Homo-oligomer: A and B are copies of this chain.
Amino acid sequence: MTVPPPSTRRVGTETSKTRGALLDSTEQLMLEEGYAGVTYRRVAAKAGVTAGLVQYYFPTLDDLFIALLERRSHSNLDKFARVLEANDGRPLRAIWEYSRDETTAALMVEFMALGNHRKAIRAEIAAVGERSHKAQLEAIEKMAGRFKVDGMVVPPSAVLFLLQSIPKIMLMEGELGRTSGHKETLALVDDFLARIEPQTRKPLARRRTSA
């Protein structure tokens, strides 16, 4: 059988120190100039190596992006676990705080934009999003099945969607110079969170109308 040669291309080891440094350079480039600023030649220049070496570790640019996303995903899950612990009993507040982290959000927004046009990366983005979503939904469902606001039933999945999405879209708009309604929406979410996850132990405690 004339099997199509299963790619004899050599690839660097995953534990290589160089490899990690290349991922660092890539992440930096991505935050500074967006994913379009990530080229073999520029990653190489930033890390002080040749472009060919970058290609040795990451045969295609998709390989590079996927490796970076994978690394970030794990540190993100760790970070969320820490924020959750710091906000014991208030998972929504934890999700909100975590989602508002600028660096993390900026990178994920970059990856979302990237995934929109790179089929190979889409699956990885989806997997990372699924992991994150699962962790956060678990945190929510531990506390209550459903919230109600003025008689309207608010399912946890909708709350999670909004808490995750609002900071992302604000970040995108902000990068374009548009901030209309941002301040007001942030305040609204804060009010909402204070209402269903009051600081004190008393459920539905009334907050002073501060600020």
- Residue positions of A touching B, CB distance < 8 A: 33-37, 109, 112-113, 115-117, 122-123, 125-126, 129-130, 133, 137, 149-152, 154-155, 157-158, 160-162, 165-166, 168-169, 172-173, 175-178, 180-182, 184-185, 187-188, 191-192, 195
Q: Could you tell me the distance in whole angstroms from the C-beta of A18 to the nearest C-beta in chain B?
A: 28
Q: How far is the CA of A126 from the CA of B172 in the complex (A)?
A: 12
Q: Are B126 and A177 in contact (CB under 8 A)?
A: yes
- Integer count of this chain's copies in the complex: 2
Quick one: closest B residue to A175, CB to CB?
B116
Q: Are A176 and B112 in contact (CB under 8 A)?
A: yes
What are 18 A-B interface contacts by the 8 Å CB criterion? A34-B117, A36-B117, A37-B117, A112-B173, A116-B176, A123-B177, A126-B178, A129-B173, A133-B178, A133-B180, A152-B191, A154-B188, A155-B184, A155-B188, A158-B188, A161-B185, A162-B181, A165-B166
Quick one: given A129-B178, A185-B161, are A192 and B116 in contact (CB under 8 Å)? Answer: no
Q: Are A176 and B33 in contact (CB under 8 A)?
A: no
Contact of A169 among B122, B169, B180 (CB under 8 A): B169
Q: Could you tell me the distance in whole angstroms from the C-beta of A147 to the nearest C-beta in chain B?
A: 11
Q: How far is the CA of A161 from the CA of B188 in the complex (A)?
A: 12
A150, A154, A182, A191 — most chain B CB neighbours (10 Å): A150
Which residues on the B side are within 8 Å of A166 (C-beta)?
162, 165
Which residues on the B side are within 8 Å of A33 (C-beta)?
117
Quick one: closest B residue to A35, CB to CB?
B117
Which residues on the B side are within 8 Å of A125 (C-beta)?
176
Q: Are A184 and B157 in contact (CB under 8 A)?
A: yes
Which residues on the B side are within 8 Å of A113 (C-beta)?
113, 116
Q: Are A181 and B158 in contact (CB under 8 A)?
A: yes
